[in-house]
Amino acid sequence: MLVSFPGQNNMLVLRSFMILFFSCITIKINLCFPSIPSSLKTLSIDGHFDFEQVEHAAKDFGNRYSYIPLAVLYPKSVSDIATTVNHVWQIGGGSELKIAARGHGHSLQGQAQAHRGVVINMESLQGHKMQVHTGNFPYVDVSGGELWINILRESLKHGLAPKSWTDYLHLTVGGTLSNAGISGQAFRHGPQISNVYQLEVVTGKGEVVNCSEKQNSDLFHSVLGGLGQFGIITRARISLEPAPEMVKWIRMVYTDFATFTRDQEKLISGKSTFDYVEGFVIINRTGLLNNWRSSFNPQDPLQASQFKSDGRTLFCLELAKYFNHEDMVLVNQEIKTSLSQLNHIPSTLFISEVPYMEFLDRVHISEIKLRSRGLWEVPHPWLNLFIPKSKIHSFAQEVFGNILTDTSSGPILIYPVNKSKWDNRTSVVIPEEDVFYLVAFLSSAVPSSTGNDGLEQILIRNKRILDFCEIAGLGVKQYLPHFSTQGEWKSHFGPHWEAFTRRKSTYDPSAILAPGQRIFQKLIAYS
């Protein structure tokens, strides 16, 4: 005779329930997820999906986040992208499938990744051959997956070039236009998103839409600086200008921050002699000027050799003047006159003369060196901030005076831009003042290091900077923003949040696109 105890019965019931529960989950997973790749396999496209070799799409320049997709799409045509997006949209809440467009993989925090979703390799898009159009208003039509370096090479064949750049040219058009795209030319021409005539966009419904300031203008302005939330840029018409042959590339040093910023602000106001204005911060570095000698010539070699940094925090002003050979005499006179009005340390003036292409592609040379030393594919916990002009001194006093006291773990850029060159109809968020600064902490973390150059310490430092900005009420906005909660995103967009969410519901109502930004969650219908 079998004897059972009440506790045993309860355990048997619980065990049976758990087995049934997990069996149901397994059945549900097996029913849902395998059907997604098979449904993608049935799509009629010119390119192809890869369901096996997908790990590379879970990696980016930031080297900190890795979300593995179910599939990578290699489109040959815009129709391939539209078909795929429309298919996922039609499935709706019946699946968790989402889509991310990936360019050259230069995102910092997984923004171009799609966990268990589809990543579109935009560089394989072959639907648009680059076409340069000359005339009174020259432009170039390019694929959204085209690299800016290739646009430069092609447009130079016609004596033309885009007006506004990023410091690094091995980025895709769609990637930079989804953010803003800024460099030292932004004070004059605005960011790259201010130099676009027309876009072709695949919306979150899979619709292919041509848009410009006059045609579908709301979508046009939504997508520019829209972080990929409203559509995938598949083609862009970029404004061009006559390209120079050469560049006078100039550097000089300041010890006083107020003098440094005053000169920067003077240079971006009115009719500036220079075509490019940037600056960077040098913390506790020795032998700095000697390091420049390989590519820059000191105006006064003797005085330059006697300059001592003494561990001080220094501020370097970097300028560029474009010119053609026949204008050499006039350009030299203009530069001399302009420099005489600045208040840098005279012995630290260094000048170089380089071809236009070499100047614009200068960061790639550094990349090659870092790759050779195994220091390129490391974590890059970058922090990019827009800071109102009225708050830049408070920011510098605390950050450069207290928070950053040791040698920095990467370049620190700092330069002002004019708000008047930015279009407030786009989705990008900037401070309200007429002049604001970009301050970029471009850190590289040394693998396995537990010191100041280690990932953990850099992240702590970044948080200290952000916390100070918040507590001091500096009105700072992140560029290439990253937040963990929708509440933080709402705070970031401020009064623009309502328009941003309206645009999302209009152009990507199922929240399919750019899940790596972690702004909106796709609503899943569980049954």
pLDDT, tens digit, for every residue of 359-380? 999 999 889 988 898 888 999 9
Question: How far, in Å, CA of 116 to CA of 15, rounded?
Answer: 31
Neighbours of 428 (CB within 10 A): 25
Question: How far, in Å, CA of 319 to CA of 220, rounded?
Answer: 33
For 140, the 3-state DSSP assignment is strand
45-61: average pLDDT: 96
Question: How far, in Å, CA of 238 to CA of 233, rounded?
Answer: 13
* Amino acid 301: pLDDT: 81
Which has more pLDDT, 160 or 453?
A: 160
Q: Phi and psi at residue 513, in whole multiples of 5°?
A: -85, 150
For 175, the 3-state DSSP assignment is helix
* Amino acid 10: pLDDT: 47
Residue 23 has pLDDT above 60, yes or no: no
* Amino acid 30: pLDDT: 39
Please name every residue paired with 139 in a beta bridge, in sequence order, or none if there are none. Answer: 133, 239
* Residues 6+ away with beta carbon under 8 Å from 353: 246, 247, 248, 249
Lowest mean pLDDT among 10-14, 146-150, 367-371, 382-386: 10-14
Which has more pLDDT, 148 or 15?
A: 148
Which has more pLDDT, 136 or 7?
A: 136
401-408: average pLDDT: 84
* Amino acid 35: pLDDT: 62
Question: How far, in Å, CA of 345 to CA of 430, rounded?
Answer: 33
Residue 102 has pLDDT above 80, yes or no: yes
* Amino acid 499: pLDDT: 97
* Amino acid 526: pLDDT: 59
Structure tokens at 441: 């902490």
Mean pLDDT, rounded, of the chain: 91
**Please, are residues 282 and 311 in contact by the beta-carbon 8 Å criterion?**
no
* Amino acid 127: pLDDT: 65
DSSP code, position 271: S
Structural domains for the chain: 129-240 (3.30.465.10), 244-476 (3.40.462.10)
Residues identified as active-site: 106, 167, 278
pLDDT category, 129, cuts 50, 70, 90? Answer: confident
For 296, the 3-state DSSP assignment is coil
